[in-house]
Structure 1
Amino acid sequence: MQDQERDVADAEKETLTSETDDWKKYRDDDIMQQHSAIQAEQAVKVPFVGDKEPLSSLEAEYHLGNSIVLKKIKVLSEQYAAIRRTRGDGNCFFRSFMFGYLEHILDSQDHNEVHHIKANIEECKKTLQSLGYAEFTFEDFFALFLEQLDSVLQGSEDSISHDELLCRSRDPSISDYVVMFFRFVTSGEIRKRSEFFEPFILGLTNTSVEQFCKSAVEPMGEESDHVQIIALSDALGVPIRVVYLDRSSCENNSINVNHHDFIPTSSDSDVSKTTNPSITLLYRPGHYDILYPK
């Protein structure tokens, strides 16, 4: 049994090592600078969560940019119909996940999945308490997310429409609280599995797990990378697909758009391994948006 568990842990670490190397490749300096130039403008003009747009709107951002990126957008358009932008304020991963997941539950009305995620949230509470967090520091964030989760299930007087979900996602008093809920959940998962995450955190930031969580996970406005995605996906039991849009060319100059599915490692997530994740995010160096398949 111990040998089996050791093999699973080794396999997970090998996967995370590969993802770390991949992530460095996607941190393309040129496209990062280009995107940073529009982030300041977005922070003022773009709401926390924008309206759904046709995927072709991406081309306008890069019409004077790298031709490989434009070709990859065309490849993307074969599978994806639309994009929903989020504000580039450092919270875009959590904000994209927030809206994408709640929209998925609103559309699917999957009560079994809601029951499943609520059970995982209860475990997240216990994790934070076992790590020494006082309950009053996080309970309001947890309560507000559970309230939003219940509201997208139809059939009660508190149920909300898609338009109301969008409105709430743009309201700082709700949206920022949900982001903080995700940040606490992510931090708790990383700290709980510190031995697993430590080598990769050291490789990314040369800091301890505790320092990383205090400086790069829990504060608002701090950007997320693959460590945070893995931790959040595992803690909540929700698979996430991330599609990468960068300027790298493939073998023989072919144009492919890579993606990675972050699948929860918990044993009760076996069903998710046989289906595509219900949430798809587009990653451009330094930023996440929501993608909608055709």
Structure 2
Amino acid sequence: MIEVENLTKRYGDTLAVHDLSFTVEPGAVTGFLGPNGAGKSTTMRMIAGLDRPTSGSVRVNGSVYRDSVAPMAELGSLLEVRAAHTGRSARNHLVALAQTAGLGRRRVDEVLELVGLQDVAADRVGRFSLGMGQRLGIAAALLGSPRTVVLDEPVNGLDPDGVRWIRTMLRGLADEGRTVFVSSHLMSEMAQTATRLVVVGRGRLIADSTVEEFVAASTSTSVVVRSRDAGRLRDLLRGPHVTVTSDEADVLQVTGLSAEQVGAVAASAGVPLSELAAVRASLEDAYLSATHGEVEYAAASTEGVRR
């Protein structure tokens, strides 16, 4: 479990994290989302005891991580991919880490096999691709069989097979009752992997909820309805809190009413329908809506590119 309470971090005049509070429970994959500059990496560094909070506190499994007697068994983290000596082999890098925690070579071989690096274990880390470096970092994070795992952008550089592998691995860790906290900018991947979300912007908490609750709170569900009598149906559906738009003559997009309500209006008026479906917004839509105005560097529209 990770407990963050009133966490604040200043770097000179820069307020990187401001009065941040949330809890990451075991048994679930919790996604950590936010624009660049939102304070995600700083928060993760404070969780791992690499940065000291200006104020507030962080507890990992009920205690301050820096005071842990067996730190690798409490928390495994991947915060920087290129954190290994480039002249060492992958196996020797992990052996050096294992020796600091009293772990044997058998455990090193286990994690090398787990992340798929057993065939290149003798190769120097400096020759590794970004994806291979990610796998080595994950192996190091899992070396001590930690109760809590914190990974910062772990799918960067991975091919589709690697992305699927890490998705399955994270779910497996959560199913074992471990605490899994992972950041990513890939909304489609978070939608498939995480069950809970912590969303931050400019160092402040925006949301702490399940994925479903976040999407529902940040976006409006719309209804698509197709009818040869769409014009009459449009008039019947209009109301003070209902919006009806159309891009095709026989298709309406309705917000403010459920699919059941639209169907009931059509049935009572005898309007035939050939399609009726609720269209739920994606996690990406919800994220962009929730973090609008929190982006540090906003790009201009593409209109100037097209000219």
TM-score higher than 0.5: no
Higher strand share: 2
Give TM-score scaled by structure 2 length: 0.26
Q: Pick the structure with greater CA Rg.
A: 2
* Higher RCO (CA < 8 A, seq sep 6+): 1
